[in-house]
Amino acid sequence: MKPDVMTALEEWKDASDTLQECAVNALTLALPGLGASPTPPYCCPVTLSIAKPGELGDGRICIDDDRRATVELDNVPNDVIADAVDEVFGIGWFDQADGPLEEEGPGTYNYDDEETGAEYEIVLGDNDTHTGRVHVSYVPVPYAAELLDALATARERQQARELADG
């Protein structure tokens, strides 16, 4: 390989590594409690998981070589999901939802983003558990960070309401 091609590839690799580090930083800042986790051999190069399951559900986030994230969060309070999703996307954005998610009740709500190729699946759990899940595949890291930040902010608002109600 020509030296100038090797140099260009080394520069690309350095930039790629820096971008990966920035992606991890953005996601861990967006969702407190998210941290590095062992990456299974079949998975993406970077796997993050919630260090303290229960605060805002449990699960993991993987970042692939193309800097797309896969978010798999389970046991997230329904009202936190509804608040965050409606804030980020607006009212009635997801399939099967005609109004605010909080008013839609238990069920599965989907959205496929044709622009980015991301696939969103939001599940609001039944009235017994009051928890659901947020699964997003192939989402650009900035979009994932926006959604994670909205979930963390919605949880903070929920906790503030609970404290105020005593």
Secondary structure (H, E, C), 31-94 = CCCEEEECCCCCCCCEEEEECCCCCCCEEEEEECCCCEEEEEEEEEEHHHHHHHHHHHHCCCCC
Q: How far apart are CA 136 and CA 138, in angstroms?
A: 7
* Domain ranges within the chain, ordered by starting residue: 3-165
Mean pLDDT for the chain overall: 90
The pLDDT of residue 70 is 95
Which pLDDT tens digit goes with each residue over 33-89? 888 887 766 778 888 998 766 667 889 999 998 889 999 999 999 999 999 999 999
Task: Report pLDDT for 166.
Answer: 72
Q: Mean pLDDT over residues 6-34, rounded? A: 93
pLDDT at residue 133 in the model: 95
Q: What angle do CA 54, 46, 134 make, to 5 degrees?
A: 40
3-state secondary structure of 29: helix
Of 9-23, 41-55, 117-131, 133-147, the least confident: 41-55
pLDDT over 70 at 28, yes or no: yes
- pLDDT > 90 fraction of the chain, expressed in percent and rounded: 63
